[in-house]
Structure 1
């Protein structure tokens, strides 16, 4: 068994996870003698995952066997188009303009002590940063690819060293974009313990892709184990009153923290 584990580590195999029952084997006994184990797993390499995207392992219960069947299929979850929520990018802090944009957005706010003005200020700041990000950073992987192509052309034509300045400038810009890309993927991977500038972009990208796959909701299961649309009924049950009594007794037992004068000041 130790040799098998060493082989898995040596080949850098990864567990694809599963959908369905948690276990793949049952001893078919009853009562306390019944035993479940997850004996079967689908192990693949990161290259396999990059090539075969959106693959899922499904545990299918077989009535004639004590083992589940493992079905590996492409199960793409259809997603309706939605507006991407604002997210502050850590790589923006590498530019001095970021702080200037934030200051300008808050200085334009009318009254920060007014909740509506504060919300408007936050929205204005997010919109200004998003607009600036599209102009300055854009699509970083595409920029890296385009600049590498340009660098290759300059190097091929640089027979007498006349393109040295342009080549050095492109190299600096590419390295800056690579640093930004690494920061971007580290932020999405939630890996904070590993340092930057060590060419860890692929690792961060793998972790971020794994988090996205793990957090993807493919369906909802009710209390009976049936895959149905239960979101509406769940929240209806959650927010429907159970008609409790003795509410007044509970409320009266709580010491008030807001005086009448404070309350009048708050509702002005």
Structure 2
């Protein structure tokens, strides 16, 4: 050991210190006693310290190993937290109370006339699940951090009193939370939408590209769809077809804006089938014409050119409530910061135009 210390001194290495527990190795025995040592440490020379002055060595916890990993961070600044939108989590299905929450939420909202009612019903169910997750089920990451903090305290107490029963109990609880966290990240590790769009574009560009475009003629393309097949394709959709399509969907793919993946409808189909089925068939089999703009109102508000452009926009069949949208923020909601930036930009733009007019006058 002395020879190792001599080499460290000769190389001019300095100990980086550490943040966290005092030891990097520990062994908990079944008879209740534990052994802990600091076997690992970070060393660096003076030029490295000058280049990275804010560095720290963190002793992390590892439940599956006697050795704790070391993390060297070059800065103590933590990334700012971001607010996540609602997403139905697969791990919730491991708790029976999730079924009770969905059943109670779905039955408490009456499905009245109008296509927008089913969307409100799904939205309310998502809000109730979010509340249940926060207050009953428990946020996995927050609970995991809390249990890890308790584990650190228990390990320190075990060093003093020599009893590690509480340490082993907390390790079992942390392992259970780690399994839930793994399911959480497995669900969220989806392909980015931009990658999907690029794959689709590349596929169809390759499919419809040719090295000799002058020879392409639709007259040489054989007709594949017969009249009988076309009649079958244009028939009204059936409930059995909706159920079969839902069964064939990947459980965690095609996540909607409401945060509900196909897994939600597949698992709770016995609860939501009647309302969801009637709405889907209403959308697919409706023969109603697309809603039209009120030309009289549009012509009375906008100029003729603007009114013509607006009336060319198609309207969806589904009636939804009007909402206010602030176009100068990422989520459409007004806040003081976006308002200040908007006024600042307007002021700078107006000042620039004033300066240009003054220069022209000179």
TM-score tier by shorter-chain length is: 0.3 to 0.5
Higher relative helix content: 2
Higher RCO (CA-CA < 8 Å; seq separation 6+): 2
Larger radius of gyration: 2
